[in-house]
Amino acid sequence: MNIKKETVNIVWFKRDLRLQDNEAIYKAIQSGTPTLLLYVFENSLKEDAHYSERHWNFIKQSLQDINEQLVACNTKVLCVSSEVIKAFGMLQQFWKIDTVFSHQETGIKKTYDRDKNFRTFCRNNLITWQENGNNGISRGRKNRKGWREDCERYMSEPQFEFKPGTHSFIPLETIKEVEEVFSLENLEVSKTSNFQRGGTTTAMKYLYSFFYKGRYKDYSFYISKPELSRKGCSRLSPYLAWGNLSIRQVWQYAMEFRKVSENKKQIDAFTSRLYWQVHFIQKFEMEEIMEFESVNKGFHKLKKKVSEEYQKAWQEGNTGYPLVDACMRCLKETGYLNFRMRAMVVSFFTHNLWQPWQEASAYLSSLFLDFEPGIHFPQLQMQAGETGINVLRIYNPVKNSISHDPEGIFIKKWVPELQNVPVEFIHEPFKMTILDQKFNNIVLGEDYPYPIVDIDKSRKRASDALWGMKDDPLVKKESYRILRKHTLPNRKNLE
């Protein structure tokens, strides 16, 4: 194989699996140097407990979609199974790498350490690495002064258009030769799946149907309903998490639609949550210790005894509380729950079962198809009541069940053993007498478990413990520090 060692640039895809509004690709095209598009399926991430097959399949579908769009450009994404530095080292056999373009990933510590090592590799090999911000997140920010203005500026700025030239990318024929020395990743995945399919093409269908097919009209009404939210919410979260769409693309699409919408209130409710997402990712970017420890150091002294029995029942959806169990089973099968139900299952785990939030972290992230570290870790701590700045919320699974699934439709869909239980008992089947059980053809303790904890007693224990800590000097000191660092400068009542 005789490949001349010409100079090339490389776009290293991470959580930006799209062509439009991708600053890395835009800058690579602008450079005028032939560019290789690369995705590395990192073995170290494949083995990480936060990731699972559903994530990798979504990524593969996203890359397939990109490759279909690149047919007209006579190129494709080189998809290899390797570690990043090893992959780039092998690519140096064929080309002189001038510049690597990518975005700054607000990810888990493993990806941050990888990036630090990669920067050293680039420096040692005289390679320029240009990292750009991602979705309005800025690295190195010390506080929120000017953050809102920067965020709004990002949202309203023009998108980076995908307009490649004839020779912008390395041609297919050359890539096929290079592939011979790599362990390639097979991008084929099962056609039948309960998970949303990855890729910008599918993402745009969801975006279109949310607005132009009218799903948005029930957004505020359905957002907390476990079943109705599956249609009434945008369902764009996995496409934002893996970068099939940028936040800016979605925001600008929504604002353009708002001009002709007769229900602007629902549009505004939706776009406000786009800012909410950027806020939490920025928070994690500024305080990455949240992956491992409570952001409020005062809560480090809070000790909880780990119960494998409780955790197994929660994971498998066998707690004896129908809505909790339906949510956990649904999440396992589809990768999706609305926000309220996510908050509820975390609250049940950390408050009623009195388990450390860290014990739920990897399991939940492996199930969430839209696993976004910048949302995941701050939200875990917030729902666990260990930030010191948020109102303590202990969700009652029975009240939530009655309020948001009154007829038990969602429950019966995911907990079929309760199919014959009448509405009067569907939220609290443990209240059935022996006669009720016989009449409804179910045996509690055999067909469906009795509650593993008493929610009233466990709620009181958690509430007493967490409220008892709010006056702890370190908790108060940390609360003040967190507010100063992560809230807008004009926020009042910091103390």
Instruction: Answer yes or no: is 495 within a domain.
Output: no
20 and 86 assigned to the same domain: yes
Looking at 76, 101, 134, the residue that finishes a domain is: 134
- Structural domain including 426 reads 291-486
Instruction: Answer yes or no: is 173 within a domain.
Output: no
Answer for the pair 298, 469: CB distance below 8 angstroms, yes or no. yes
* Phi, psi (degrees; rounded to nearest 5) at 6: -80, 165
206 and 337 assigned to the same domain: no
323 and 234 assigned to the same domain: no
DSSP H or E run through 397: helix 397-404
Contacting residues for 430 by C-beta, under 8 A, at least 6 apart: 320, 444, 450, 451
210 and 310 assigned to the same domain: no
Residues counted in the chain: 495
Q: What is the CATH number of the domain that holds 120?
A: 3.40.50.620
- Which tokens hold the place of 75? 């190129």
Instruction: Answer yes or no: is 13 within a domain.
Output: yes
pLDDT attached to residue 492: 45
- Which tokens hold the place of 435? 């006669």
Instruction: Answer yes or no: is 176 within a domain.
Output: no
98 and 206 assigned to the same domain: no
Answer for the pair 366, 376: CB distance below 8 angstroms, yes or no. no
Instruction: Answer yes or no: is 43 within a domain.
Output: yes
Q: What is the CATH number of the domain that holds 257?
A: 1.25.40.80
210 and 295 assigned to the same domain: no
370 and 417 assigned to the same domain: yes
Answer for the pair 165, 154: CB distance below 8 angstroms, yes or no. no
117 and 261 assigned to the same domain: no
pLDDT attached to residue 191: 82
Instruction: Answer yes or no: is 26 within a domain.
Output: yes
480 and 370 assigned to the same domain: yes
pLDDT attached to residue 493: 37
Q: What is the CATH number of the domain that holds 311?
A: 1.10.579.10
402 and 335 assigned to the same domain: yes
313 and 233 assigned to the same domain: no
Compute the distance between CA of residue 110 and CA of residue 151 in angstroms, rounded to an integer: 27
Task: With H, G, I as helix, E, B as strand and everything else as coil, classify residue 89.
Answer: helix
pLDDT attached to residue 4: 58
pLDDT attached to residue 65: 98
Compute the distance between CA of residue 431 and CA of residue 420 in angstroms, rounded to an integer: 15
Total number of domains constituting the chain: 3
71 burial (CB, 10 Å; 0-12 / 13-18 / 19+) is exposed
Looking at 264, 286, 308, the residue that finishes a domain is: 286
275 and 359 assigned to the same domain: no
pLDDT per residue rounded down to tens, the chain (495 residues) = 455 589 999 999 999 999 999 999 999 999 999 999 999 999 999 999 999 999 999 999 999 999 999 999 999 999 999 999 999 999 999 999 999 999 999 999 999 999 999 999 999 999 999 999 999 999 999 999 999 999 999 999 999 999 999 999 999 999 999 999 999 999 999 888 899 999 999 999 999 999 999 999 999 999 999 999 999 999 999 999 999 999 999 999 999 999 999 999 999 999 999 999 999 999 999 999 999 999 999 999 999 999 999 999 999 999 999 999 999 999 999 999 999 999 999 999 999 999 999 999 999 999 999 999 999 999 999 999 999 888 889 999 999 999 999 999 999 999 999 999 999 999 999 999 999 999 999 999 999 999 999 999 999 999 999 999 988 999 999 999 999 999 866 554 333
Compute the distance between CA of residue 346 and CA of residue 4 in angstroms, rounded to an integer: 56
Looking at 116, 134, 152, the residue that finishes a domain is: 134
